[in-house]
Structure 1
Amino acid sequence: MTIKKLLPLLAFFVSFSFFAQGESMKDKKEQIKALKAAFFTTELNLTTNEAERFWPIYNTFDDKQFELRHQKMKTYVRRMNDGSLDQITEKEANTFLAQIEDTEEELFLLRKTFMQNVKKILPAVKIVKLKKAEEDFNRKLLQQYRNKGSRK
């Protein structure tokens, strides 16, 4: 598996663990959303017009992506960690893999649709910067989480 495929999963697991601590998941999600909005707006240098059109599309995409990951990946993680993998049959493993592949495909199609929509709003240069900003933000979030964990 390449790093490009692992990064979204890692971000999901980190955010899932991050949300599980302290404040409610909804509060943490809103905090992260606000930080992400500020970070992206700065990194992309969005005009007022671009921001007004971009954020509703991005927020819808981000919410759908979160739901997909939260609902389906949570089931997969539970299954992988419950000890039943040692007794899984080949047929069950193939079914499990098919479910994982379906979720990955849903995420890909969601991202593809998002990109098609955002191309109508932002120039290609800003879309490339968006991809980098997403990776940078996730990396910073992960680093913050690690730093917070090491202080305990």
Structure 2
Amino acid sequence: MKFLQNSTINKMMRKTFIFLVLSIFTASVFGQPPQNDKHEDFEIYKAKRVSYMTEKLQLTPDEAQKFWPLYNEFDKKRADCHWTRKRMEDEIRQQYDQLTEKDFKKMNSEIVQLYIQEANLLKEYNDKFLTVLPARKVILVGPTENEFRFQMIREYRQKRRDENKQ
């Protein structure tokens, strides 16, 4: 079985699959009418994330087909929690001097509940990921997300430095 994992055919299939996934995402981005740059940038970011994580997690085409719909569902719910919490934190900053102790306690409780909700999502989707991927790959999902995010930050900063040189 190890022979099949390391075979040239398997590597070619994985690269072909990654290329196809990236092509589909890219085609969907460029096939739509122009929208704001942030939306397009985010679509490109998501396509790069799919490619990066698929490669780093060494997902087979079958695993990827089952994993990505679950991951996208998880990511959307997690982002909803994050942005709700961020809006609340922004509201606190803007109205800080007008809020009462009662307001602070209520908002604090709501923020903590959002963190708990996010943790529950992580547990729920970790269990779902384990139904479609081996544990050795599931355990790498979080660290791989972080690696990708840091790589994107480095690329963004480098791009900004290059733009400032001109």
Q: Which amino acid aligns with 2:151?
A: K
Q: What 5-or-longer segments of structure 1 have no aligned partner? A: 1-21
- Matched with 1:76 is 88
**In the alignment, does 2:141 pair up with 1:134?**
no
- Structure 2 residue matching 1:145: 3-state secondary structure: helix
How far apart are residue 125 of structure 1 and its match? 0.9
Give the Cα–Cα distance (whole angstroms) in 1 for the partners of residues 97 and 133 of structure 2. Answer: 49
Q: What CA distance in whole angstroms lies between the structure 2 residues aligned with 1:68 and 1:25?
A: 20
Q: Distance in 1 between matches of 2:89 and 2:154?
A: 22
The normalised TM-score by structure 1 is: 0.74
Partner residue, 1:36: 49
Aligned to 1:115: 126
User: Which SS does the other structure have where 1:46 is aligned?
Assistant: coil
Of 121-130 and 34-43, the range deviating more from structure 2: 121-130
Q: Distance in 1 between the 2:77 and 2:91 partners?
A: 23
| Residue equivalent to 1:45 | 58
Aligned to 1:144: 155
Q: Aligned-residue CA RMSD in angstroms? A: 2.0
Structure 1 Cα separation of the partners of residues 120 and 38 of structure 2: 26
Question: Paired residues, what number?
Answer: 129
Structure 2 match to 1:4: none
CA apart distance, 1:149: 4.5
Cα distance change, pair 80–121 in 1 and its aligned pair in 2 (3 A) = same
Separation of aligned partners in 2, 1:24 and 1:67: 21
> Are 1:106 and 2:128 an aligned pair?
no
Report the CA distance between 1:69 and its aligned residue. Answer: 1.8
> For structure 1, which segment, 95-104 or 84-93, has the greater mean C-alpha deviation from structure 2 after superposition?
84-93
SS of the residue aligned with 1:53? Answer: helix
Q: Cα deviations across residues 105-147 of structure 1 (Å, max 9, x unaligned)?
A: 1111111111010001111111122121011112122333334
**Larger of the two Rg values belongs to structure:** 2
Query: How far apart in 2 are the matches of 1:148 and 1:28?
Result: 14
Deviation at 1:148, TM superposition (A): 4.1
The structure with higher relative contact order (CA 8 Å, sep 6+) is 1
